[in-house]
Chain A
Amino acid sequence: MAQPTAHTDAQQHPIRLYLVVWCWLFVLSLCSYLVDFFHVAGYLRWSLILIFMALKAGLIVAVFMHMAWERLALSYAILVPPLVLLVFVGIMVFESEYTLFTRVAYFVAGS
């Protein structure tokens, strides 16, 4: 097997990097818990939740899963397709608003 040397240069990062990211994940999780603890409501709540979620997801994918150091051909192949889910979200928002409208218009009032 000729591989041992082939891979040693891949994904060697100082332990410190992982500890720093770990701390950040703790802090961000604590922040999102505090959003609930202090009963932040409305658009502020939703935007804070989404921001903390996106930051945590980004840190995990970029550092823990080493995506930041992968070749772009792999990164884009993995990271771009899930964006299609956002289109799906858009479609289902329209769909659920329509369902809610029909329920309110034809079921709740009449029952």
Chain B
Amino acid sequence: MNEVAPHTLNPKIGRAPGWQGIVADWSSDQRAFKNVSWGKAMMWIFLLSDTFIFGTFLISYMTVRMSTTVPWPNPSEVFALEIAGHHLPLILIAIMTFVLISSSGTMAMAVNFGYRRDRRKTAILMLLTAVLGATFVGMQAFEWTKLISEGVRPWGNPWGAEQFGSSFFMITGFHGTHVTIGVIFLIIVARKVWRGDFDDGRRGFFTSRKGHYEIVEITGLYWHFVDLVWVFIFALFYLW
């Protein structure tokens, strides 16, 4: 199969500053994103579309919360836990936030070591990211179990506005699905890195093309996006 070089034609293509550069890139022949590979550009465009999905979820949550005449349940109390006799508001969500941010940190470093061709460190950091991601999903499962046992349903809950349950399950469910897919994605790429696929040019099982270390950065983009979405959910759903 003909391999189209997926990378930079010439990374040093001159760039005019500011708006002139943008206009020059977009009005040029064939490709607008001059020094960005198709893989990275496509991941960014996918993430843009995902932004709109989560954006509409959060906007519909805002709409139901603003238009209900019944008081909204207080998330600070709904998600509180008793730990060692102390009543801590929102503690589980705070821990989940720290876990996910940590996983973003390890992912960023994995990308860095990937570009340094450090197979071992890249794979270990990616697997660590996957473990933290799986921990997050586990804690979310615990949270769902707790809320369901307390009587929260998409059509009602014991504390107030019925829309609370549907918003909660829709938004966190969709986000949790993204995290789960990200963990699977991370494990697959980490295995390839560990095996040295990107050094010896082994062809992929599905695409039968050679991979590159750039896939680590593309996986990282997806993972950071999942963290980014959580930042918005944490602020707008749990803290508001």
Contact = CB atoms under 8 A, between A and B. Distances in A.
A17 B73 CA distance: 40
Nearest to B235: A53
A12 B227 CA distance: 22
B221 interface: yes
Contacts, number: 184
B59 A89 contact: yes
Interface residues of B, number: 72
A35 B214 CA distance: 39
Contact of A25 (B35, B101, B112): B101
Contacts of A108: 69
Interface in B137-162: none
Nearest to A102: B67
Interface of B: 3, 5-8, 11, 15, 18, 21-22, 25-26, 32-36, 41, 44-45, 47-48, 51-52, 55-56, 59-60, 62-64, 66-69, 76, 89-90, 94, 97-98, 101-102, 104-105, 107-109, 111-112, 115-116, 201, 210, 212-214, 217, 220-221, 224-225, 227-228, 231-232, 234-236, 238-240
Contact of B35 (A45, A56, A71, A97): A71
Identify whether the interface residues of A are mostly helix, strand, loop, or mixed. helix
Interface residues of A, number: 63
B111 A11 contact: yes
